[in-house]
Amino acid sequence: MASRARPLNLTAPALAVLLLALVLAPLAAVGWRGAGISLGPADWSAVRFSVSQALLSAAFSTLLAIPVARALARRRFPGRAALITLMGAPFLLPAVVAVIGLLAIFGRSGVLNQALVAVGLPPISIYGLHGVVLAHVFLNLPLATRMILQGWLSIPAERIRLAQSLGFGPAETFRHLEWPMLREVLPGVALVILVICLTSFAVVITLGGGPSAATIELAIYQAVRFEFDLGRAAGLAGLQLMVGGVAALAAWILTRPAGFGAGLDRTLALPTPRGWRRGIDGVALTLSALFLALPLAAVLWRGLPGLSDLPASVLPAAGRSVLVALTSALIATSAALILALAAARRPRPIIEAAATLPLATSGLVLGTGLFLLIQPFAPPISLALPVTILVNVALSLPYLYRILLPETRALHSDYGRLADSLSLRGWSRLRWLVLPRLARPLGFGAGIAAALSMGDLGVIALFAGERQATLPLVVSQLTGAYRTEAAASAALILVTLSFALFWAFDAGGRRVAA
Amino acid sequence: MGFSIPDHSVATWRKTMQKQLLAAGLLTIAMPALAETPVLTVLTYDSFTSEWGPGPAVEKAFEATCACDLQFVPAGDGAALLARIQLEGAASDADIVLGLDTSLTAAASATQLFAAHGKTPATNLPVDFADPNFLPFDWGWFAFVHDKTKLAAPPKSFEALAASDLKIVIQDPRSSTPGLGLLMWVKAAYGDRAPEIWQGLADNIVTVTPGWSEAYGLFLEGEADMVLSYTTSPAYHLIAESDDTKGAALFDEGHYMQIEVAGKLAATDQPELADKFLDFMLTDAFQSVIPQTNWMYPAVTPATGLPEGFDAFRPAKSLLLTPDEAQAARDAALAEWQAALAR
């Protein structure tokens, strides 16, 4: 085993170091240009608000996802596959588009308030901490559901059959099968969501309702753009990384491998309890489907009218975005697979850190730092697309890693020794063992990576030249020039393309696995 | 330009791919250095360079006279421009920075990266404006925009607005220049009473957005009765959408101005061409493009006059802090704003 493992073992730590360098070097470059790090009271209140809204968002998204994932895992109903696919969509929405979609339902003149007023009830306001959490749950509940569902589907059929033959009721099933699975999956899910929400910017300000809803990222914006205080920006970004690091450590400590052992891959439907549990599942599915579908429908509805007179620049921009997305997804998936396979063999803090911290980096500091690092060697504009791809890889890798890790762990403990004893190594091991067994999470993860890479404009803004606009940049240019209708349509195209990429990878993975 | 893979021979595919990579900008390092025509690089904000912004028409008109290649480099918004030029320092490839406003020019001058323009052009600004480093190219008045069919009698002052139960959306002064403009507006109009005005406005503010476009989007979605924008915003709807329902509320205390300026970088390698561009900037060829692309008032009214709607909402009084006053007032005004709106 040792001889086989060596090449991978070297690749993974090297990759981890590279990733960490990609996160830390720009931060250091920004701090170096600044004149010492100093944080004021407003910064600390931004830190407090960032952390508390992120904790709440992660807790609600994760806890609410459990009943939805369980219902999806054990019930069969028409439209189930469509609902699972739909679960990819909200997560892929650019923040501003998601906010507009949510406001169409929950806003002051949204559907919900119109209905409340019509029946004589007082209207509700979405603006405030609760609105921020609502939006984050909308964006992240589907991701959490999909990751937890993956966990449910990975419980071997043999264990379920054993449970049935032992006459387990729902309570025993939960204690002996579902809880161990959740112990393995939940910490990673909560961690990813916590860290995404920590760096959330547009959603928090727009729905926060006032200046108290200020996040670390807003303080960084202010420091870089209005004060050019790079020391403060670096300090804030470092603090954000530290919070992300502490969260990663906590998740690492809390995670317990489920240790179900290998099965024979028989498909066996999970027990479907009757009575009130059936009702609970129905309620969870209906509410989550409505909660996700209504704002999405609003996005679709708003985008349709302007489709006919979109500016010509949308097409090449869309082409560039798809090219960037596919390249990023390919690199990110390969890198995440290498890291997750290595981490399954032997847990290593450096890999955990490298696969988490990119999420907690400040987009603005990352962009600014890369700009400072590249500038002495080449005009940054000439490297716009490579830098975009690099940043997309770093930012989407953490999701992929979290999605793959439980599966690579199971793969290692179930098949590692068998494969070693058969001298199944290198490409053939990848071809005959790893890729087939991980097809489902790989497809899902690659889909997430591709779709995420269609978005993200924050980092690229510093590098973008006149002739390299990507689709998100065109959307932002349109909204900045009063063209709200055209912007809504361009955003719809962006979302549709992201979703199509996600769907192609995800469905591909599921088909191979089935 | 598509990215589909043609199904003929591999060689052709490679060639096509190379072309596309070139077009995608992956291999365009140092190409301008080989060109013979001089290149003038203008760093500006995104919406100036977009195909519906002033950029394309300005580029065409200037290149017709200068025997040069005018290249716009977009760099986010106005505040991002200043950060960008400070990041690049003297190593910047840019010759001109276009799109700063007067709340940023004091900080911009302090960097000593800009060169004096040495010009005293006549402009049609409603206030006196002269800056050794920067020339104005357009300007506007901040105003609260509303739907006339839903709000027939808009408030006539901040105090009336605060006393009403109208809902407004504003921009965050920590991330957006209009947001900062509103801060200066209240400060210029009320001085020490500014915190009191903000406290009065607190229950009118639905939310604060990161930038202008988010706030305007929320207003159009019906999330608020009024939005902080410009007196010329209704003209956009009138001209581009034939929609006469939008109005701008005129306030008795006067309206704060945003003056957008351009300046030449001291480290430019094209000083004559840069001067030529600054001269060109105040001619009709440039100025006549501004109203219906940037939706602001041109600094020099072109011979053809202003489009319809630009005279519909003209405040009687203009307010403007000097760049130094604006710079000095900012931190305290920001702290007052945060304290007054904290819940």
User: Is CATH 1.10.3720.10 correct for A42-175+191-229+267-303?
Assistant: yes
- How far, CA to CA in Å, does A294 sit from each of A97, A291, A332? 13, 6, 32
What is the spatial distance between Cα B308 and Cα B303, in angstroms, rounded to a whole number? 15
Residue in B75, B202, B214 closest to A206 by CB? B214
* Contact yes or no for B3 and A461 at CB 8 A: no
- A473 has a chain B CB within 8 A of its CB: yes
The secondary element (H helix, E strand) that includes residue A127 is none
Pairing mode of beta strands B318-319, B226-230: unpaired
* Nearest CB partner across the interface for B207, out of A209, A385, A480: A209
> What pLDDT, on the 0 to 100 scale, is given for residue A264?
62
The H-or-E segment that residue B70 falls in is strand B69-74
Neighbouring CB atoms inside 10 A of A353's CB total 20
Contact B79 A214 (CB under 8 A): no
Query: Lowest-pLDDT range, A291-305, A417-431, B223-237, B243-257?
Result: A417-431
pLDDT of residue A459: 59
> In A, which residues are within 8 Å of B210 by CB distance?
201-202, 205-206, 218, 221
Contact B214, B226 (CB under 8 A): no
Which pLDDT score, from 0 to 100, does residue B6 have? 36
Q: How many CA atoms lie within 13 A of B275 on its CB side?
A: 10
| Cβ–Cβ < 8 Å for A204, A196 | no
The residues spanned by each domain of chain A are: 1-33+304-514, 42-175+191-229+267-303
Considering only CA atoms, which of A256, A262, A300, A274 is closest in space to residue A406? A256
pLDDT digits (tens, 9 = 90+) for A316-350: 888 888 988 999 999 999 999 989 888 888 878 88
CB–CB of A312 and B51 under 8 A?
yes
Q: What is the mean pLDDT of residues B327-340?
A: 90
Domain spans, chain B: 10-139+259-298, 140-257+311-341
Subunit contact B223:A461, Cβ cutoff 8 A: no
Cβ distance B175 to A209 less than 8 Å, yes or no, reads no
Closest by Cα among B290, B329, B313, B302 to B99: B290
A319 at B interface, C-beta within 8 A: yes
Query: Which of A466, A470, A474 to probe the B interface (max B CBs under 10 A)?
Result: A466
Judged by a CB distance cut-off of 8 A, whether residue A480 touches chain B is yes
Q: How confident is the model at residue A452 (pLDDT cuts 50, 70, 90)?
A: confident
Kindly report, residue by residue over A230-263, the tens digit of the pLDDT.
Answer: 888 888 888 888 888 888 888 878 777 666 766 6
- A377 close to B (CB below 8 A): no
Q: Which of B30, B52, B174 sits opposite A481 (nearest CB)?
A: B52
Question: Chain B contacts of A219, Cβ < 8 Å?
Answer: 174
Mean pLDDT of A144-154: 87
For the cut 70, the answer to whether the pLDDT of residue A386 exceeds it is yes
pLDDT at residue B29 in the model: 44
Closest Cα in chain A, distance from residue B338 (Å):
6
Contact criterion met (CB < 8 Å) for A211 and B222: no
User: Is B207 in Cβ contact with A207 (below 8 Å)?
Assistant: yes
Q: Measured on CA atoms in the order B115, B116, B118, B121, is the torsion positive or negative?
A: positive
Residues of A in contact with B93 (CB under 8 A): 379
Supply the mean pLDDT for chain B: 87
Structure token pair of residue B201: 């406005």
**Are B186 and B245 within 8 A, CB to CB?**
no
Q: How confident is the model at residue B155 (pLDDT cuts 50, 70, 90)?
A: very high
Coil, strand or helix at B288 = coil
Q: How far is A183 from A192, CA to CA, in rounded Å?
A: 15
Would you state the pLDDT for residue B199? 94
B140-257+311-341 sits in which CATH class?
alpha beta
Question: Is A212 in contact with B107 (Cβ distance < 8 A)?
Answer: no
Query: Residue A31 pLDDT > 80, yes or no?
Result: yes
pLDDT at A464: 62
Q: What is the mean pLDDT of residues A118-147?
A: 90
| A363, pLDDT greater than 60 | yes
Q: Which CATH architecture has domain A1-33+304-514?
A: Orthogonal Bundle (1.10)
Interatomic CA distance for residues A385 and B21, integer angstroms: 10
Buried b (16+ CB within 10 A) or exposed e, A131-166: bbbbbbbbbbbbbbbbbbbbbbebbbebbbeebeee
Q: Which of A431, A440, A430, A421 is nearest to A508 (CA)?
A: A440
Does this chain's domain B10-139+259-298 share its CATH topology with B140-257+311-341?
A: yes
The answer, yes or no, to whether residue B3 has pLDDT greater than 90, is: no
CB proximity A437 to B under 8 Å = no
Q: Which residue(s) pair with B115 in the sheet? A: B264
Cα B230-B231-B234 angle, rounded to 5 deg: 95
- Chain A hits for B330, Cβ within 8 Å: 226
Interface test with A, best of B172, B219, B226 (most A CBs within 10 A): B172
Reply yes or no on whether the pLDDT at B1 is more than 60: no
The mean pLDDT of A47-69, rounded to a whole number, is 93
How far apart are alpha carbons B257 and A416 in whole angstroms?
70
pLDDT at A9: 62
pLDDT at A3: 43
Residue B30 CB neighbour total at 10 angstroms: 9
CA distances from A356 to A103, A125, A196, A330, A433 (A): 31, 35, 10, 19, 27
Q: Let me know: does A292 contact A142? Beta carbons within 8 Å.
A: yes
Q: Which of B73, B221, B240 sits opposite A100 (nearest CB)?
A: B221
Pairwise CB contact (< 8 Å): A464 & B74: yes
Chain B interface includes A48 (CB < 8 A): no
Give the strand pairing for B168-171 and B96-101.
unpaired
* CA distance linking residue A89 with residue A494, whole number of Å: 12
> pLDDT exceeding 90 applies to what percent of chain A?
15
Q: Which CATH class is domain B10-139+259-298?
A: alpha beta
Say whether residue A464 is in contact with chain B using an 8 A CB cutoff.
yes
**Confidence (pLDDT) at B4:** 35
What the block records as the tokens of A271 is: 């027990």
Cα A75 to Cα A232: distance, rounded to the nearest angstrom: 52
Band the pLDDT of B229: cuts 50, 70, 90: very high
> Which among A412, A273, A389, A281 has a CA at the least distance from the CA of A331?
A389
pLDDT at A56 over 90: yes
Please tell me which of the candidates A99, A127, A381 has its beta carbon nearest to residue B73.
Answer: A381
